[in-house]
Structure 1
């Protein structure tokens, strides 16, 4: 003998077991249960469409603006460091050559002074002529060497550690010390001072020498 429909006040005999509520129901109420389930599909479709619209309108540039600014500042800082090293090495290169020329200039100035002295006094000896000639030939040879010298520079490729830039995500409710502004004032705390400095409903700031601790 069939069981009655489980729906209150329904006098019909049950014809099936509803898989949703696991009750014996008649055909009309089974159809009603089916209609209830189907009626929930359209709102779900609407929610999916809303999520789809949110995905389409999601502004990646706005969402990554802060990180891009940090990357841009990192790029500028790196360029500044490269420019600084470049300028220093250019100066070092000029100094490397200038030192060689300076030595020749000093020797040439000494010979000019000696030659001017001999011309003024008109008392040059054969030995003076031989010495001046030899020194001038030596300067000429040294100058030839400088002019013919090819300067070599070994430059290692610039290696950038990609691990120095890490991309991760954080909860907007979490607190990060890196987001704090630079310190505008420091307070000297003695060893015997009270550990607790200040607190709020969420955080406690206290001194634990030599550290300043912030506790959630």
Structure 2
């Protein structure tokens, strides 16, 4: 059966089958088709030739040298830390020996004193007292001999370097796996208290501690520490748009805290509400109130209330908002029911505030005094931490439970730091866990 030419505008009968594309053409359009194919082929050849020339122009030595600068910077910073650690241990060694000598000096003075007391009390010294003094003298000599012979133990472990400290090329990230959470690879000890704050600008971490704000890095080096005299802190978060932390207090006040030097400035225009929790997207600040409302404030050019949501949109009767957090385009709400031992994680669109999903998390014990927090993970996933039972819940982007974990101590707060570290705050520690591979 005859077929028409494959050209959509042609009504002629085809005469030839093109074996390249398996289409039928008339003689006229076969020539056009062949010319077009030749053009495409030549164009591809030209593109490949340009890529070949571009590759030959690459100055590999220059590219490697420029990239090596990152390694040089890492080496210099690492050497500074080693020298600082060495100087610290030298000072500790000096204090140790100085303290030992000072202690032995005190014991010698006690021997002099005891001998004088015996001489003053009686004409003849009791033999038992003489033997006791002699024993004390021998013990003291043994201690001083140890110092003189430098046999005070110094335990030194070889410095080990993990090959994964520096990875050349793209990292293969498998994703967050709560069930494979490792033990903390380092811990920052804090005094026991009921302060809960934890925030990060992805370079430093900020905590509140004994009426102070403390900024420290991933190596636990304190960068800045500043006294806080502005009332009890309810919550704080990082604003990348303002390059500052935002702190809200029980006095219905809000403050900007610099991410570099912890300088503090009051935020005008958003007071007169008892703010409970806060979070920031790239462009907006979100605050919850005691009445379970959520207010959205623009960050630039000034703080201005843009939208507000009230119950029952935010939560139902006999429920309240325990915590909020957001990523770039979604906001997560922890909703707790007054009577049931149930919490809900509700994730909404920041654009429309429409609910994207809700997941019920059963809690065996519920106390409104202890924190229930949530933090965003990569790939639109979420982590819920619950201090009453020390439970962690890993929620996938589809709103389904991916895993649970019982922590060895009540977690008060948590966040993902530098994409591969889960930082967990308890009542007395800040624990660092490696979670991505």
Structure number with the bigger relative contact order (C-alpha 8 A, sep ≥ 6) is 2
After TM superposition, the score normalised by the length of structure 2 is 0.30
Structure (1 or 2) with the larger CA radius of gyration: 1
Higher share of residues assigned helix: 1
The alignment's TM-score, normalised by the length of structure 1, stands at 0.50
